[in-house]
């Protein structure tokens, strides 16, 4: 018997989201934490705003001045969409796309904070980091479910 995905496309083009309360709370908490980092300009955001010009500090600063504010606003808007639709059982394509972008952004930041490598966490990770890594992995699964649903 095949299991039904908790995130699936409906015939009308919307998406059903069957996540439990704890999962929804986790998504909101992670999005809130990312929002706080974005507002504060935290260094953990480096993977969200990579420098396009290598070691050319002047060109990178110019790029950041032009692009980062707009990218930050877009990310904040997507995070707000997740927050405002976190309890919904049906999402539009645009809302689910906001979920996808936000979950991906949270994973990028968590991966940076944890210094995640292809093989996982570095040796000697603390219990707190192992818990964060479990969240990172869970969000990876949610991201995959979203991508699969949107691809259908």
Q: Please state the pTM of the whole predicted model.
A: 0.93
| Residue 44: domain span | 7-151
Low-confidence ranges of the chain (pLDDT < 50): none
Q: What is the pLDDT of residues 33-49, one digit of tens each?
A: 999 999 998 999 999 99
- Tell whether 2 is covered by a domain: no
Provide the pLDDT for residue 116: 87
Q: Are 107 and 31 in contact (CB under 8 A)?
A: no
**Residue 124 region by backbone torsions, left for phi larger than 0, else alpha for psi between -120 and 50, else beta:** left
Half-sphere exposure of 105 (CA within 13 A, CB side): 27
- Taking every pair of Cα atoms in the chain, the longest distance, rounded to a whole number of angstroms, is 58
CATH of the domain at 147: 1.10.490
- Tell whether 123 is covered by a domain: yes
- Tell whether 134 is covered by a domain: yes
């Amino acid at each position: 018997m095949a299991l039904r995905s908790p995130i699936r496309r409906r015939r009308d083009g919307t998406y059903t989201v069957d996540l439990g309360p704890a999962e929804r709370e986790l998504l909101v908490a992670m999005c809130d934490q990312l929002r706080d980092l974005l507002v504060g300009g935290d260094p953990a955001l480096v993977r969200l705003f990579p420098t396009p010009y290598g070691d050319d500090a002047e060109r990178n600063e110019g790029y950041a001045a032009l692009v980062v504010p707009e990218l930050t606003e877009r990310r904040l808007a997507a995070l707000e969409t997740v927050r405002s639709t976190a309890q919904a059982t049906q999402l539009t394509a645009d809302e689910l796309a906001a979920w996808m972008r936000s979950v991906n952004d949270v994973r990028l930041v968590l991966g940076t904070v944890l210094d995640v490598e292809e093989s996982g966490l570095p040796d000697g990770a603390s219990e707190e980091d192992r818990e964060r890594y479990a969240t990172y992995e869970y969000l990876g699964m949610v991201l995959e479910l979203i991508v699969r649903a949107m691809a259908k």
